[in-house]
Amino acid sequence: MANDASAVFDTLSPAVSRGSLADSFTPPADSTLWRKNFLLGAATASYQIEGAVNEDGRLPSIWDTFSAIPGKVLAGDTGAVACDHYHRWEADVEMLASLGLEGYRLSIAWPRVMDAAGVPNRKGLDFYKRLLNRLKEKGITTFVTLYHWDLPQHLEDRGGWLNRDTAYRFADYADLMSRELAGTVDAWATLNEPWCSAYLGYGNGHHAPGLANDRFATQAMHHLLLAHGLAVPVLRANDPASQKGIVANIGRGTPNSDSAADQRAAHLFEVQHNAWILDPLLKGSYPQDLFELWPGTEPLVLDGDMQTISAPLDFLGINYYFRTNVASDGAHGFRDVPLEGVERTQMGWEVYPDGLRDLLTGFKKTYHNLPPIYITENGMASDDQVTDGHVEDTQRISFLKRHLAAVDQAIKAGVDIRGYFLWSLMDNFEWAFGYERRFGVVHVDYSTQKRTIKRSAELVAKFLKERKARA
């Protein structure tokens, strides 16, 4: 149908057929993606690619601790080596530039740049200075995330995000980084996906630090958002020329039936995944429906907190991967009801590009102060293999094309979307799933650290070259 993002480009069956899809990435002639000011880049995160966890004064993070616990990460994998980016960053920047990617989103490892007393670690800071300066030399727009989940372990030992003081320590960290790196960063994101940090880290224990309590999750979220709010004015003061924002992961929830109970369940799903973060940022309050879902879990909020959290943003980063079909659990919540016969990725996630468009257009209606948006992560995992020096990641090519079509549709519906970052530049440590799940547009052989550019990256590079020629 005409409003289906899957129909804008070739549609794949769940089995993912091969053929002409592998030969083209070019959007339709009327696509807004041809705009020269629409930024197209790739993203990574420090713990997932850097390695060198014990070098040059880096302190342990909660992910070093968590991944060392038997059974927490698939195959016992850790980020100790990862993609060895700490030593191979120069070649990785050359690879990024060779693909013609216009933007690079990276994160800073908090444990690498300051010690437990807050004293700067010059070797760690110099690493990021060299990296960012090289990116600027290449003309690549830099998006820097301050917190992509690798909390220093010494702060977790004092309560982590359950301790209000961690928010103030984050502001100190933001102050140091924005003073040291001012002029090399085009856009600062305070946090990546606070939903994952709060819920997966403190609510169900799937991520570090591995705690499981709904009350912990809501309090951790409050302190994460407070940390964001405290950091924004510091970033503005120290690096006024840069943009300041935050990155939220969003989830599309659809009802399993037309029943009122299932409709309510889908609403509560999106309250928990989206409004829990966006309402405090853009409305200055938590959604009360959240506490219908989790009765008695209201966080401790002090006077002035919500005003701090809801300070204006220059941009909002949006990460989107899949939708969840839900039904009422018969009580106050929802339960997943997986659909049959749909296309899925290696993660088991349903491929549903229309969910991205629908959420973006819905946010425009809900939040009248919605800031400009960058899609800061979108991509998929597949079991990619190198054959005769090539990687034919056909499903990813189709996935990216259809999701970019959904972005185009949202822009045409009036949503101010200014860029899109592929997740990820290269295969990496996929948190609790270790190294089995490959999200990169560049393949990494972890035994040799050899990088092999996948077909998806070749086609993105081809499109960018063509767009530049047309400009």
Longest dimension (CA), the chain: 62
Integer-rounded Cα Rg, in Å, for the chain is 21
Termini Cα distance of the chain:
32
Q: Are β-strands 141-147 and 187-192 bridged in parallel, bridged antiparallel, or unpaired? A: parallel
Q: Are β-strands 243-249 and 187-192 bridged in parallel, bridged antiparallel, or unpaired? A: parallel
Write out the E strands in 357-453: 373-378, 417-423, 442-445, 450-453
Cβ pair 326, 256 in contact under 8 A = yes
Other CB atoms within 10 Å distance of the CB of residue 312 = 11
- CA angle (153, 158, 164) in 5-degree steps: 110
Distance (Å, whole) CA 153 – CA 160: 8
Q: In whole angstroms, what separates CA 356 from the centre of its chain?
A: 14
| Known catalytic membership, residue 377 | yes
Distance (Å, whole) CA 385 – CA 432: 21
What values do phi and psi take at 381, rounded to 5? -95, 140
Q: 102, 156, 270, 377: which one is catalytic?
A: 377
Cβ pair 246, 189 in contact under 8 A = yes
- DSSP line for 119-151: -B-HHHHHHHHHHHHHHHHTT-EEEEEEESS--
Closest C-alpha to 62, from 109, 132, 114: 109
Determine the residue type at 204: N
CA atoms within 13 A on the CB side of 257: 8
Residues designated as active site: 377
